[in-house]
Amino acid sequence: MKKKFFTISMVLFASVLLAQTTQKIDIPVQSLYSNQVKIKDVYFNKRVDTAGKGDVLEVEVLFENLTDNPMDIYVNIIATFEKEEKTESSFEMPIPEKERIRNFVPYPDDTANYEYTDSKGKKIFQAYPKNTKSGINPLTNKLYFLPVRDILVVRSYHVSPYRKDFVFFNYVTILAFDKDGNPIVREVYELKGKRK
CATH number (domain holding residue 92) = 2.60.40
pLDDT (tens digit per residue) in 15-29? 444 443 344 567 776
Using alpha carbons, select from 57, 173, 59 the residue that is nearest to residue 126: 173
pTM: 0.80
Q: How many structural domains are present in the chain?
A: 1
Tell me, yes or no, whether 13 lies in a domain: no
The residue among 123, 117, 121, 120 whose CA lies nearest residue 24 is 117
Tell me how far apart the alpha carbons of residues 113 and 135 are, in angstroms, rounded to a whole number: 11
Residue pLDDT, tens place only, 48-99:
999 989 999 999 999 999 999 999 999 999 999 988 777 677 777 777 766 7
C-alpha–C-alpha distance, residues 37 and 35, integer Å:
6
Helix (H, G, I), strand (E, B) or coil at 33: coil
d(CA 105, CA 157): 9
State how far the Cα of 186 lies from the Cα of 33, in Å rounded to an integer: 7
Residue 47 belongs to a domain: yes
Spatial separation of the C-alpha atoms in residues 44 and 97, rounded to whole Å: 27
For residue 118, the model assigns a pLDDT of 81
Residue 9 lies in a domain: no
Show the domain range for 55.
25-190
**How many CA atoms, within 13 angstroms, populate the side-chain half-sphere of residue 126?**
17
- Nearest 5 degrees, angle CA 189-CA 30-CA 73? 75
